[in-house]
Amino acid sequence: MRSEPAPHTSPTALPGYAATGRIDELRATEYRHLDADGRVYLDYAGAGVTAQAQVRAHHDRLLAGLYSNPHSENPTSAAAGSLVESARRAVLDFFRADPAEYAVVFTPNASGACRLVGEAYDFGRTASLVLTWDNHNSVNGIREYARSARGSVRYVPLDGPELRVAESDLVAALDAGRGRLARRSRRRGLFAYPAQSNFSGVQHPLGWVELAHQRGYDVLLDAAAFAPTNRLDLSVVRPDFVCLSWYKLFGYPTGVGALLARRSALARLRRPWFAGGTIRAVSVQGDWHRPMDDESAFEDGTLNFLSIPDVEFGLRWLDSIGVDLVHSRVGLLTAWLLERLATLRHDTGGPLVEVYGPTTGAGRGGTVTFNLRHPDGTVVDERLVAREAAAAGISLRTGCFCNPGAGEGAFGISRAATRQRLLAGVDTIDKYLAALRLPTGGAVRVSFGLASTATDAERFVAFVQSTYLNREAGAESPLPPRLRC
């Protein structure tokens, strides 16, 4: 027996939707390429989409001027350098960061920003790394730097079906991480967490930055999933490090990210090497070098000087639309999607959709992760959903989204089960899942962003309903192996 239809049959009927109508205008003009071939784009957590104006601006700039390596001293080099510096100022403006307090280091992506911190942070034996389970692998990977410096690594678990973190667990981990030695030497540790989960969409409190500061920690805030649709105001929240990838905010350019860092925290980092552009002076025979004393000490080699100016364009573009407007639109679509998915029930009465994380729009962003179930309750393999969604022209993401900790929380995988010795010989994801006796290794993720419309959400729900409602488990054609976590 199917349950009652959701009260709002279309997101457009939701209060407040009409006020976000500017996004529909932009979709019909600047983002009209999204609608070529009847596609539905629902992978904004993977990458944002590019406005036509942004591509034009790049093209026009390159054809109107000449830009060369900013490390040289000539007019074309100065032109490139001045655009890069202007982009740095635009980044600080966008995040309302005081230039006296924050520096912008351009990196290849958010992962590159995490690596800069990890490899140069002084973990030593007395500083800990505290991480939430819910973290992208590019943040998880910092633990390897902490371990090789013999620092301690502590994870804060996820708690309950909403996949949030209990603040008491966080406080306990921070306090334990400080330890006896750390208290005596007043050495700091590093706490790293995402402002928004790329798995569940959960928004972890920004107030944890201050909480960790009070306990002597530096904070790395991963804003890669948060910044595209939420305002991050660094005059209010002051993490020591923030990592970002620009293509997630406005689609283009790829290959450019940033580490926003408090200058005081940057000054405490010790780089393990130097490269062209990062040093003021160096001697081969004397075997010494002097690093630059600003952000350029962290920018290895030649910056992507032809694309960094596109970051400034993108930020001004996003500002002209308004992050708050994008936030409202995404919030409405997310709440509607969750509401609709919850109404989908097989004739057996069993739910079609199991959402991992919050099932309402509160305290979350526009990323919704779930698995579909057959009427007998078995999971529809996410690779099948990927294949069938692709055939229907829908771009979504399946797998575990490089966030194994959130996946372990969502699928109830215990610590004991993941012990390395039990997993000897396990060298593929599929073998790992078999060893854990899991019915599936991943989930399906849809995410909304800057140019999302009601039609995108409606078409997705129609696809799920028409393809999977009352569909019995059966022999499917072979599915490809899972390649990565």
Ligand X SMILES: Cc1ncc(COP(=O)(O)O)c(C=O)c1O
Contact residues toward ligand X (CB under 6 A) are 109-111, 136, 138, 194, 198, 222, 224-225, 245, 257
Instruction: Write down the catalytic residue from 114, 243, 402, 485.
Output: 402
Tokens representing residue 463 in the block: 């696809």
Given the complex with ligand X, which of 14 and 318 has the nearer CB atom? 318
Minimum CB distance to ligand X, residue 411 (Å): 19
Other residues' Cβ atoms within 10 Å of the Cβ of residue 257: 23
Minimum CB distance to ligand X, residue 198 (Å): 3
Given the complex with ligand X, which of 11 and 48 has the nearer CB atom? 48
Minimum CB distance to ligand X, residue 237 (Å): 17
Question: How far from chain centre, in Å, is Cα 134?
Answer: 11
Measured between alpha carbons, how far is 5 from 17 in angstroms, rounded to an integer?
20
What is 130-154 written as a DSSP string? EEESS--HHHHTHHHHHHHTT-EEE
Nearest partner of 156 among 240, 212, 223, judged by Cα: 212
Partners of 262 in beta bridges: 102
Measured between alpha carbons, how far is 275 from 372 in angstroms, rounded to an integer?
49
Given the complex with ligand X, which of 57 and 249 has the nearer CB atom? 249
Minimum CB distance to ligand X, residue 245 (Å): 3
Measured between alpha carbons, how far is 269 from 248 in angstroms, rounded to an integer?
27
Given the complex with ligand X, which of 109 and 203 has the nearer CB atom? 109
Angle at 403 between CA 398 and CA 408, to 5 degrees: 95
Minimum CB distance to ligand X, residue 438 (Å): 23
Measured between alpha carbons, how far is 229 from 94 in angstroms, rounded to an integer?
13
Nearest partner of 177 among 116, 115, 135, 219, judged by Cα: 219
Given the complex with ligand X, which of 138 and 296 has the nearer CB atom? 138
Contact in structure between 261 and 240 (CB atoms under 8 Å): yes
Given the complex with ligand X, which of 124 and 255 has the nearer CB atom? 255
Q: Where are the alpha helices (DSSP H) in 135-271?
A: 137-140, 142-148, 167-185, 208-214, 246-250, 263-268
Contact in structure between 96 and 233 (CB atoms under 8 Å): yes
Minimum CB distance to ligand X, residue 353 (Å): 22
402 is catalytic: yes
- Supply the residues annotated as catalytic: 402
